C-alpha cells in the first residue's frame, strides 16, 4: 500500500484528509523527480523531504490510536518528577547526578479500542473493545524503559504514550542526538522549563524555534513555580509567553506547575487528555511535517517551472553540431561528386571516360561507390577531420545558451544538472556525429532517369559516328586499292554531303552539343542533390543532438517541472 493510500485510509476527519493526500502525493512526486539528478539529489532539503516521507509512512503504518507525548527539558528543570507525577509511579528515576535522565522512558495508557488504525506487527486497532498494541510504536520510537499504566486518577489519558526524554542540555553528545531524533517522531511536545532557565537560548534556538509549525501541538510548562514569590509567577509566565511569541510559538499553551507540590498537574493532564482524545495530534504532526518539507524543498525546486526552447534555439544547436560533424564539407563534396557523376553519365562517352578517371571527392571521405556493385556504400567511419577548437567552441556555446534559455530562472543545482546532462563527452559526441554522417543515405548511387536517357542517346550518337567513320575508312581503303565500288557502297549523298560523312558529323557533333546542353541541367541537379543531402545529414545530426544534448536537457527540465508541480501542488 502506498503512502498516499495509507493517508487516505487512516487519517480522520479532523485533519483534511484530501489535503494530506495531496501533500503526500506531491512530495513523493517532487522527491522522485529530484533524486534522478545530481547535484539536486544531494541537496539537504531533498534528503529532509525523503526522511519526512519515510517517517510519515512508518507512522501511518503504526497505531494512530495512541498519541505520543514527549516531556523534554533541561537538567534540573524537574521534568522527570513531573513525568512521574503524571504517571503516579516512579517510572523515571530523578536524582542528584547530572544529567539525571540518560535514556528515554515510556509510560503507556491503554487505548479504548481502535478506530481503524493499524497497530503494526503487534496487533490491529479496531472496534469491539480491542486495544491496539503500542509495542511496534514503542519499538519505532526506541523507548528503552516502558511502563504500562493500569489506571489511576488520570484515566482520561487513555491512548497516551508519555515519554521522558534525556536532558537536552546534557554534556553527552548521544543525549543531544536522542532528543533531536525523538523531536522528529513525537506528536505532542511538553517542554518543561524552570524559573532560572526559561529564557535559555539553547532551548529556544535549537529546539523550540524549529517547531514553529508545531506550536499548536506544544505545551510549555513553567515548573518549580513554588520557588517564585506568588506575585512573580504571572510576571515570569508573561515573559515566557513573550519569548515564545517572538520565536513563532505564540499558539503554544503555557501552564504553571510544581511537581513537588502537585500544582498544575490536573490542568496539564487535562490538556494532554484533550489532545489524545481528539486523536488528531499524530495526524496534525504529519500534516505540519509535510508542509514544512514542501516549503524547504521549494528552495531547491524553484519558484517557476523550466522554460521551453524555441524552434530557432533548437536549430542553433543542430547547426553547431552540423558544423562539428563536417556537414558543409560533405555537402560540398557531394555537390562536386554529383556534378562529376552527372557529366560522366550525360557527356560524350569518350570524354566522359576520361572524366571518370578523376578521383571522386566522396572517395576521400570514405563515402564512395563500392568497387563491385557500383552502389554507394558507407564506411564504419568517415575520413572527415575531427571537430576543431572553433567547432567545439560553437557547440559548447550553443549548449550553454540552450541551458540558459530553459534553466536561467532555476536554482543553481538544476542549472548544474542541466549543464552536465546536456554536455556530452566531446569525443563521444564527435564519434556519434561521424557515425551519423557515415550512415546517411546520400542517394547518389544511381543516375537520374533523364540522365540514363541521355546516356542511351549519347551511345546512339557515338554508334552513328562510328558507323560513319568506318564507312569512310572502307571507302578510302577501296579507293587506295583502286577497287571500283557500286553507288550503294559509296552511300550516296544528302545534298552535297556524302552520307558517311554526315553520319560521322552527326555522331560527333551531336554528342558534343548534347553534352554541352546537359551540362547546365547536371549543375542544377547537383545543386538540388546537395540541398537534399544537406537536409538528410542535418536530420541525422539532429537525431544525435536530440539523443546527446537536447534529449538529456529535456529530461532534466521535465523532472524539474514535475518537482515544481509536486511542491506547488502541496
Are 169 and 288 in contact by the 8 Å Cβ rule? The answer is no
Are 249 and 218 in contact by the 8 Å Cβ rule? The answer is yes
Are 418 and 557 in contact by the 8 Å Cβ rule? The answer is yes
HSE on the CB side for 488, CA within 13 Å? 0
Grid coordinates of 184: 522528529
Is the pLDDT score of 410 beyond 80? yes
pLDDT at 221: 93
Is the pLDDT score of 290 beyond 60? yes
Res. 45 pLDDT band, cuts 50 70 90: very high
Q: Is 486 exposed, middle or buried (0-12, 13-18, 19+ CB in 10 A)?
A: exposed
Question: What is the torsional sign of CA 543, 395, 312, 406?
Answer: positive
pLDDT at 204: 80
Q: Which residue has better confidence, 375 or 469?
A: 469
Is the pLDDT score of 218 beyond 60? yes
Average pLDDT, the chain: 80
Q: Which residue has better confidence, 17 or 220?
A: 220
Q: What is the pLDDT of residues 2-17, one digit of tens each?
A: 444 444 444 444 455 5
d(CA 346, CA 447): 9
What's the whole-number mean pLDDT along residues 162-173?
Answer: 76
Is the pLDDT score of 317 beyond 50? yes
What 3-state class would DSSP assign to 263?
A: strand
d(CA 326, CA 330): 6
Res. 383 pLDDT band, cuts 50 70 90: low
What 3-state class would DSSP assign to 219?
A: strand
d(CA 51, CA 29): 14
Res. 484 pLDDT band, cuts 50 70 90: low
- Beginning with the edge strand found earlier in the chain, give each strand of the sheet holding 160-164 in spatial order: 145-148, 105-108, 160-164, 67-73, 188-193, 218-222, 253-256
pLDDT at 475: 75
Res. 118 pLDDT band, cuts 50 70 90: very low
User: Per residue, what are the HEC states of 35-62?
Assistant: CCCCCHHHCHHHHHHHHHHHHHHHHHHC
Least confident of 336-340, 520-524, 564-568: 336-340
d(CA 467, CA 457): 15
d(CA 258, CA 221): 9
Q: Which residue has better confidence, 542 or 434?
A: 542
Is the pLDDT score of 368 beyond 60? no
d(CA 556, CA 328): 32
Of 97, 76, 98, 79, give the one whose Cα is nearest residue 197: 76
Cβ neighbors of 376 (< 8 A, separation 6 or more) are 362, 367, 368, 369, 370, 441, 442, 443, 444, 445
Q: Cα-atom radius of gyration of the chain, to the nearest Å?
A: 45
Q: Which residue has better confidence, 118 or 410?
A: 410
Per DSSP, the residues of 138-173 read: HHHHT-SEEEE----S-GGGTTEEEEEPPPTT-S-H
pTM: 0.70
Degrees to nearest 5, angle at CA 443 with 361 and 341: 45
Least confident of 110-124, 272-286, 294-308, 347-361: 110-124
Long-range contacts at 263-266 (CB < 8 A, ≥ 24 apart): 263/225, 263/226, 264/221, 264/225, 265/82, 265/85, 265/86
What's the whole-number mean pLDDT along residues 17-46?
Answer: 88
d(CA 475, CA 170): 129
Neighbours of 99 (CB within 10 A): 17
d(CA 205, CA 199): 10
Amino acid at each position: 500500500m502506498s503512502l498516499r493510500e495509507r493517508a487516505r485510509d487512516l487519517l480522520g476527519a479532523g485533519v483534511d484528509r484530501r489535503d494530506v493526500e495531496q501533500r503526500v502525493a506531491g512530495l513523493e512526486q517532487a522527491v522522485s523527480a529530484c533524486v534522478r539528478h545530481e547535484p539536486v539529489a544531494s541537496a539537504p532539503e531533498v534528503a529532509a523531504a525523503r526522511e519526512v516521507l519515510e517517517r510519515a509512512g512508518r507512522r501511518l503504518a503504526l497505531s494512530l490510536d495512541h498519541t505520543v507525548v514527549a516531556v523534554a527539558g533541561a537538567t534540573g528543570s524537574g521534568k522527570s518528577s513531573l513525568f512521574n507525577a503524571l504517571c503516579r509511579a516512579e517510572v523515571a528515576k530523578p536524582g542528584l547526578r547530572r544529567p539525571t535522565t540518560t535514556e528515554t522512558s515510556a509510560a503507556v495508557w491503554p487505548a479504548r479500542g481502535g478506530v481503524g488504525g493499524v497497530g503494526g506487527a503487534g496487533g490491529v486497532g479496531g472496534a469491539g473493545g480491542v486495544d491496539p498494541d503500542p509495542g511496534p510504536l514503542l519499538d519505532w520510537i526506541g523507548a528503552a524503559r516502558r511502563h504500562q499504566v493500569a489506571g489511576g486518577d488520570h484515566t482520561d489519558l487513555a491512548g497516551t504514550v508519555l515519554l521522558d526524554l534525556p536532558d537536552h542540555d546534557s554534556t553527552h553528545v548521544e543525549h543531544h542526538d536522542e532528543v533531536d531524533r525523538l523531536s522528529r517522531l513525537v506528536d505532542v511536545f511538553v517542554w518543561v522549563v524552570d524559573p532560572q532557565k526559561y529564557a535559555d537560548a539553547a532551548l529556544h534556538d535549537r529546539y523550540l524555534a524549529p517547531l514553529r509549525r508545531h506550536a499548536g501541538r506544544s505545551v510549555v510548562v513553567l515548573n518549580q513555580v513554588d520557588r517564585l514569590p506568588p506575585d512573580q509567577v504571572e510576571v515570569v509566565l508573561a515573559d515566557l509567553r513573550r519569548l515564545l511569541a517572538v520565536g513563532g510559538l505564540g499558539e503554544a499553551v503555557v501552564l504553571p506547575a510544581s511537581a513537588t507540590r502537585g500544582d498544575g498537574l490536573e490542568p496539564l493532564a487535562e490538556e494532554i487528555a484533550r489532545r489524545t482524545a481528539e486523536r488528531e495530534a499524530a495526524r496534525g504532526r504529519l500534516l505540519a511535517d509535510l508542509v514544512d518539507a514542501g516549503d524547504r524543498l521549494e528552495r531547491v525546486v524553484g519558484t517557476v517551472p523550466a522554460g521551453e526552447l524555441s524552434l530557432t534555439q533548437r536549430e542553433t544547436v543542430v547547426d553547431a553540431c552540423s558544423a562539428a560533424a563536417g556537414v558543409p564539407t560533405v555537402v560540398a563534396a557531394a555537390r562536386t561528386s554529383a556534378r562529376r557523376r552527372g557529366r560522366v553519365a550525360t557527356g560524350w562517352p569518350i570524354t566522359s571516360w576520361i572524366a571518370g578517371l578523376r578521383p571522386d571527392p566522396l572517395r576521400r571521405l570514405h563515402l564512395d561507390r563500392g568497387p563491385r556493385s557500383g552502389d554507394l556504400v558507407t564506411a564504419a567511419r568517415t575520413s572527415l577531420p575531427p571537430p576543431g577548437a572553433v567547432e567545439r567552441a560553437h557547440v559548447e556555446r550553443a549548449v550553454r545558451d540552450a541551458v540558459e534559455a530553459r534553466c536561467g530562472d532555476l536554482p543553481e543545482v538544476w542549472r548544474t544538472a542541466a549543464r552536465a546532462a546536456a554536455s556530452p563527452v566531446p569525443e563521444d559526441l564527435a564519434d556519434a556525429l561521424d557515425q551519423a554522417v557515415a550512415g546517411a543515405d546520400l542517394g547518389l548511387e544511381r543516375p537520374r532517369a533523364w540522365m540514363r536517357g541521355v546516356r542511351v542517346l549519347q551511345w546512339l550518337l557515338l554508334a552513328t559516328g562510328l558507323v560513319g567513320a568506318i564507312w569512310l575508312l572502307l571507302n578510302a581503303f577501296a579507293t587506295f586499292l583502286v577497287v571500283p565500288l557500286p553507288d550503294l557502297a559509296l552511300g550516296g549523298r544528302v545534298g552535297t554531303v556524302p552520307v558517311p560523312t554526315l553520319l560521322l558529323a552527326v555522331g560527333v557533333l551531336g554528342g558534343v552539343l548534347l553534352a554541352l546542353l546537359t551540362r547546365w541541367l547536371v549543375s542544377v541537379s547537383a545543386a538540388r542533390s546537395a540541398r537534399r543531402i544537406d537536409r538528410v545529414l542535418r536530420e541525422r545530426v539532429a537525431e544525435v543532438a536530440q539523443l546527446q544534448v537536447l534529449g538529456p536537457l529535456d529530461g532534466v527540465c521535465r523532472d524539474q517541472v514535475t518537482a515544481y508541480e509536486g511542491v506547488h501542488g502541496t
